[in-house]
């Protein structure tokens, strides 16, 4: 994908409609791109340029349109290394230094489109991953226990996210049909060996336009998100509550793993998200999912029928693990937001813990990379409920080392994912 002169002009006009970079950025972007003169290809390009611009916001001189256009061009879907170097060389202080100090380019000149190998990290054009480009992050994010504290994680968070699919069909014929359709579109598919349902596509593949997606044979779900449920390995046939289900990314995965004999009850405070969840469940042919706009009091669960086999609290969080997909959050999240999120997460865990039957699991997950929302919430919960709950070590770790609480931090640089945290508590029987 290259960027023509008129596309640069259009993007620079769009750009003014996207600021300020606050929580409404995705909404503004959607609005700006709803213009009927744009085709699908244009939309994907402008979207990616807007995301790149958001990543560079801190060092991006608003008045220097020429520089912006150059950097944006260089960072577009197929990065042009030469153009990118030129942008570095012409840019303000940070970029010039970075260009001069760099002995070898961050991405190879040859085959810039190549996806990184699994385990080799994410392609990042802004840093070589050996030192943190401090200029690009808010100061609080660089502190220990925060998302950009390590150079490798910081580099990953500045890079473009890949597109991960979760296969919802298990039959050889179904899998072959998906494979054939994706190949027919010219998209190279990479399978994640340790999790055969996870397939990676190039980031700009328009997967929602495929039959495979429309028929529910594939869903879009980040690999890191898929790991969370896999670390728990829920037993088939169980009855689970997805207490913060949103539009159901993990509900669908849970329902697939529990199988037709199992069931998932999905709750969220957002009715629109639950409506989307129902559409996705229907598309995927899941008869074992039910949405609940309200939940009965936890006490009734504990007394009637003994509660759930598993309760997933995929809690609302700062989203600091999702900066690859939501770079605006880097600019509008504050340390106070993180403290507030941690308080809410703990409240949700306390509230849902009684819904777990004796012998069952309470799974806590976030898409945050802040200790305050992760291991510290887990430690606080254990301190208060250690008489009833104990840590259940992860069944699968995918090579990540459990922390002192038995929780896993899914680091984005390792497998080209978003960042997450997950820990499972077992209710003593």
Ligand X SMILES: C[S@@+](CC[C@H](N)C(=O)[O-])C[C@H]1O[C@@H](n2cnc3c(N)ncnc32)[C@H](O)[C@@H]1O
Catalytic residue set: 367
Regarding 414 and contact with ligand X (CB under 6 A), the answer is no
- Per CB under 6 A, the segment of 24-32, 103-111, 269-277, 402-410 that binds ligand X is 269-277
List the one residue from 247, 274, 363, 377 that touches ligand X (CB under 6 A).
247
Element (H, E) at 391: strand 389-391
Q: CA-to-CA distance for 100 and 52, rounded, in angstroms? A: 22
Q: CA-to-CA distance for 205 and 186, rounded, in angstroms? A: 9
Which residues partner with 427 through β-bridges? 389
* Smallest distance, ligand X to C-beta of residue 274, A: 9
Q: Which is nearer to ligand X, 77 or 277 (CB)?
A: 277
Regarding 249 and contact with ligand X (CB under 6 A), the answer is yes
The H helix count followed by the E strand count for the chain is 17, 12
Q: Which is nearer to ligand X, 224 or 249 (CB)?
A: 249
Element (H, E) at 356: strand 356-366
Q: Which is nearer to ligand X, 8 or 239 (CB)?
A: 239
Regarding 316 and contact with ligand X (CB under 6 A), the answer is yes
Q: CA-to-CA distance for 64 and 205, rounded, in angstroms? A: 31
Q: Which of 312, 321, 317 has the alpha carbon at shortest distance from 339?
A: 317
* Smallest distance, ligand X to C-beta of residue 84, A: 33
* Smallest distance, ligand X to C-beta of residue 309, A: 18
* Smallest distance, ligand X to C-beta of residue 367, A: 6
List the one residue from 125, 250, 263, 346 that touches ligand X (CB under 6 A).
250
Regarding 245 and contact with ligand X (CB under 6 A), the answer is yes
List the one residue from 54, 157, 232, 244 that touches ligand X (CB under 6 A).
244
The site map against ligand X for 370-399 (x = CB under 6 A) is ------------------------------
List the one residue from 80, 314, 416, 418 that touches ligand X (CB under 6 A).
314
- Per CB under 6 A, the segment of 27-35, 63-71, 199-207, 238-246 that binds ligand X is 238-246
Q: CA-to-CA distance for 341 and 350, rounded, in angstroms? A: 14
What DSSP designation does 160 have?
A: P
* Smallest distance, ligand X to C-beta of residue 253, A: 8
**In a 3-state reduction of DSSP, which class is residue 212?**
helix
Q: Which is nearer to ligand X, 190 or 350 (CB)?
A: 350
* Smallest distance, ligand X to C-beta of residue 11, A: 30
Q: CA-to-CA distance for 417 and 116, rounded, in angstroms? A: 12
Say if residue 377 is preceded by a cis peptide, omega within 30 of 0.
no
Q: Which is nearer to ligand X, 181 or 242 (CB)?
A: 242
Q: Which is nearer to ligand X, 156 or 244 (CB)?
A: 244
Q: CA-to-CA distance for 394 and 380, rounded, in angstroms? A: 19
Q: Which of 418, 367, 332 has the alpha carbon at shortest distance from 160?
A: 418
User: Both tokens of residue 105?
Assistant: 């380019």
The radius of gyration of the chain from alpha carbons, rounded to an integer in Å, stands at 22
DSSP string for 62-106: TT-HHHHHHHHHHTSSS--HHHHHHHHHHS-HHHHHHHHH-SS-S
* Smallest distance, ligand X to C-beta of residue 218, A: 16
List the one residue from 43, 270, 278, 283 that touches ligand X (CB under 6 A).
270
Q: CA-to-CA distance for 357 and 426, rounded, in angstroms? A: 10
Regarding 189 and contact with ligand X (CB under 6 A), the answer is no
The site map against ligand X for 354-373 (x = CB under 6 A) is -------------x------
Q: Which is nearer to ligand X, 132 or 244 (CB)?
A: 244
Q: CA-to-CA distance for 420 and 147, rounded, in angstroms? A: 11
Binding site for ligand X (CB under 6 A): 243-247, 249-250, 267-270, 273, 314, 316, 367
């Amino acid at each position: 994908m290259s960027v023509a002169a008129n596309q640069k002009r259009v993007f620079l006009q769009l750009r003014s409609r996207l600021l300020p970079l606050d929580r409404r950025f995705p909404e503004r972007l959607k609005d700006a791109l709803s213009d009927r003169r744009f085709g699908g290809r244009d939309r994907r390009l402008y979207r990616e340029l807007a995301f790149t611009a958001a990543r560079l916001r801190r060092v991006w001189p608003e008045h220097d349109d020429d520089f912006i256009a150059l950097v944006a061009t260089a960072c577009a879907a197929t990065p042009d290394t030469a153009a990118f170097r030129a942008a570095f060389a012409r840019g303000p202080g940070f970029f010039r230094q970075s260009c001069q100090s760099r002995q070898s380019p961050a991405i190879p000149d040859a085959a810039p489109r190549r996806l990184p190998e699994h385990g080799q990290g994410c392609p990042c054009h802004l840093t070589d991953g050996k030192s943190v480009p401090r200029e690009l992050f808010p100061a609080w994010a660089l502190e220990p226990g925060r998302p950009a504290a390590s150079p490798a994680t910081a580099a990953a968070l500045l890079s473009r996210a890949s597109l991960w699919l979760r296969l919802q069909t298990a039959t050889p014929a179904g899998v072959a049909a998906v494979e054939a359709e994706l190949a027919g579109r010219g998209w190279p598919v990479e399978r994640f060996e340790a999790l055969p349902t996870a397939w990676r596509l190039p980031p700009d593949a328009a997967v929602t336009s495929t039959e495979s997606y429309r028929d529910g044979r594939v869903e879009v779900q980040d690999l890191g998100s898929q790991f969370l449920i896999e670390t728990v390995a829920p037993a088939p046939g169980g009855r689970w509550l997805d207490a913060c289900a949103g539009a159901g990314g993990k509900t669908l995965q849970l329902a697939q793993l529990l199988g037709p004999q199992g069931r998932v009850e999905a709750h969220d405070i957002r009715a629109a998200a639950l409506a989307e969840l129902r559409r996705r469940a229907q598309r995927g042919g899941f008869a074992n999912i039910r949405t609940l706009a309200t939940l009965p009091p936890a006490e009734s669960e504990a007394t009637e029928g003994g509660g759930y086999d598993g309760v997933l609290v995929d809690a609302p969080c700062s989203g600091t693990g999702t900066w690859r997909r939501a770079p605006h959050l880097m600019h509008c999240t504050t340390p106070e937001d993180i403290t507030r999120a941690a308080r809410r997460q703990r409240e949700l865990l306390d509230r849902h813990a009684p819904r777990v039957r004796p012998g069952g699991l309470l799974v806590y997950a976030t898409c945050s990379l802040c200790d305050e929302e992760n291991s510290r919430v887990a430690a606080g919960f254990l301190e208060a409920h250690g008489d009833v709950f104990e840590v259940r070590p992860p069944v699968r770790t995918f090579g990540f080392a459990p922390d002192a609480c038995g929780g896993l931090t899914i680091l984005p640089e390792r497998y080209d994912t978003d960042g997450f945290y997950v820990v499972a508590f077992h209710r003593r029987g």
